[in-house]
Amino acid sequence: MIINTSIDIKDIVYNLDECATRANNKFQHWAYTGDDWDAPDWEIEACFLQLLAVLEVAGLPLLRNNAYMEYAEIKSSKDGFLKDATDPDGESYSTVLVRIRSYIRALKPLLPSDKYTTVTKNLLDIIRNVHYTITNKAVFPNVPQNENDVHLRIEAILKSVFPDLKHKPSITKQIKNFEPDTGIPSIKTLIEYKFLSKKSDVAIIADQLLADTRGYSSKDWERFLYVIYETNRFRPESDWNQLMRDSGVPMNTTIVVLSGEPHIKKHKIKK
């Protein structure tokens, strides 16, 4: 079946993807703190309701019926939208969000194909996981001290995965205040790194990001990734990405936040 393209279904699906990412970040925070006030059940349910709406708009009644049956079963279950499981490393994860993401994966191949796409999931996974390596004192004498440390450490790891990676690539159209730190031609992605060590610098970096994203276009680069390394927890990743969306920055721009704060001991999730 061909998805109805009379509305911008691509934006809706990618908005759902971001909604699921924000809900997952809050689930992980809640899993670590054990604070019931931070329980993200309503946000996870909102993602599921958004999924049902997407499937309705897309004209996929059978898939929507399956999703609705899952939704109703989860809603009436003992743990509801906080149902979780434990991975091999002993970390809790949301089984509900896993199901939502399975629907998202099924939808994406059906979308119209053009260059208006998000940063690839594989790259995002690598960036998020690389945090443990770049802060490992058994590998480096200190945690990153500045933006250049973050840049060079991440780039060294990415180079082994993307051999065509370019350090400080030249671009065909330059905009004010934007000189990309890393370019990966094979996935047409530019990466810029920011180092955040003071709460007072949050607004400054936000202005820098918005200045970088305005007016840039190139046939060679289609996706943009900003990696913010913060020495303490200043702003969640979801806030930064919401700023981009509220400011009219398209979905091909993504922000990932890596925190230098010590890992919080995991609390057992209350049942």
* Residue 176 DSSP class: T
Which has the minimum average pLDDT: 6-15, 22-31, 63-72, 226-235?
Answer: 6-15
Beta-bridge partners for 92: 86
**pLDDT tens track for 50-77:** 999 888 888 888 999 999 999 999 999 9
**Residue 270 clears pLDDT 60, i.e. is over it:** no
Query: 218: which 2 tokens?
Result: 């190139």
Name the least confident of 60-69, 224-233, 242-251: 242-251
d(CA 34, CA 268): 7
pLDDT, position 263:
43
Q: How confident is the model at residue 173 (pLDDT cuts 50, 70, 90)?
A: low
Does residue 3 carry a pLDDT above 50? no
Q: Where residue 29 falls among pLDDT bands split at 50, 70, 90?
A: confident
Split at pLDDT 50, 70, 90, the class of 172 is low
Domains of the chain: 9-110 (no CATH), 121-259 (3.40.1350)
For a pLDDT cut of 90, what percent of the chain falls above it?
28
Residue type, 194: K
Q: What is the pLDDT of residue 8?
A: 64
Residues 6 or more apart whose Cβ sits within 8 Å of residue 173:
216, 217, 218
Residue 198 neighbours by CB under 8 Å, 6+ apart: none
Of 33-37, 105-109, 173-177, which has the strongest mean pLDDT?
105-109
Mean pLDDT, rounded, for 140-149: 88
User: Positive or negative CA dihedral for 147, 255, 122, 115?
Assistant: negative
Residue 62 has a CB neighbour count (10 Å cut-off) of 9
Residue 229: what are its φ and ψ, rounded to 5°? Answer: -100, 120
